[in-house]
Homo-oligomer: A and B are copies of this chain.
Amino acid sequence: MRIPEPTVERLLQLSRVLENLKAESISSSEIEAKTGWSSYTIRKDISFLQENLGEASGYNRLSLLAAIKRALALGTPWKFCVVGLGRLGSAYLNFPAFADEGFELVAGFDSSVNRIEILRSPVPLYPAYKMGEVISRFSIDLALLCVPAASAQGAADKLVASGIRGIINFAPVVLEVPERVMTSNVFVVDELRSMAAKLACLVD
């Protein structure tokens, strides 16, 4: 059965709550207290997993966690690359947290050959023109796009042509990509703007 998108989002966050949980069991109202989502919503979300996980005491931490990971394919390994090795991009080359969650960083790309030669990296680095070849050779699924705003669309076009399935975009630019490619924007100024806008318009 199809799981609605907001539910996917909450289940992902819920899995983090469960990972950091000390108790071995938790009820929907305890989750409500921790997250702010109503217990109804949480129970409905969990019911999409269709596993009848609830006990009289609530949900068992580990079985619920396992069920979420199974349903959301969090166990399966994904390959990703970093495009643009400036300050931000090169920081992610040395980030250990990815592997813990099943994401394997297999390549870094930059248009400056000079930069590639200078950088020390645990991951092979390639010049930008090899993107197509490398992405299809290693079947890379996802990309972190860390290039400056002015080059973002061009780099995204190359990624799309290489058969990438999703792009996490750090440049403050709305990318134009075909429908089959998923994008998600991570830009801190926009987070501030969005929060300010909500504080100003929604909460009054």
Q: A-side interface residues toward B, CB under 8 Å?
A: 2-3, 5, 8-9, 12-13, 16-17, 20, 33-36, 71-74, 76, 78, 80, 87-88, 91-92, 95, 97-98, 101, 103, 141-142, 144, 165-166, 168, 172-174, 176, 179, 182, 184-186, 188-203
Chain copies in complex:
2
A76 interface neighbour in B2, B166, B198, B200, Cβ under 8 Å: B200
Q: Which residue of B lies closest to A150 (CB)?
A: B20
Q: Is the CB of A101 within 8 A of B192?
A: yes
Q: Is the CB of A173 within 8 A of B16?
A: yes
Q: Is the CB of B196 within 8 A of A74?
A: yes
A202 interface neighbour in B5, B97, B142, B172, Cβ under 8 Å: B5
Provide the residues of chain B in CB contact with A203, threshold 8 Å: 182
Provide the residues of chain B in CB contact with A72, threshold 8 Å: 193, 196-197, 200-201
Provide the residues of chain B in CB contact with A198, threshold 8 Å: 5, 8, 182
List 12 A-B residue pairs with CB atoms under 8 Å apart, sorted by A's residue number: A8-B197, A20-B173, A20-B174, A36-B179, A72-B193, A73-B200, A97-B189, A165-B199, A166-B199, A182-B195, A186-B188, A186-B191
Q: Is the CB of A174 within 8 A of B13?
A: yes
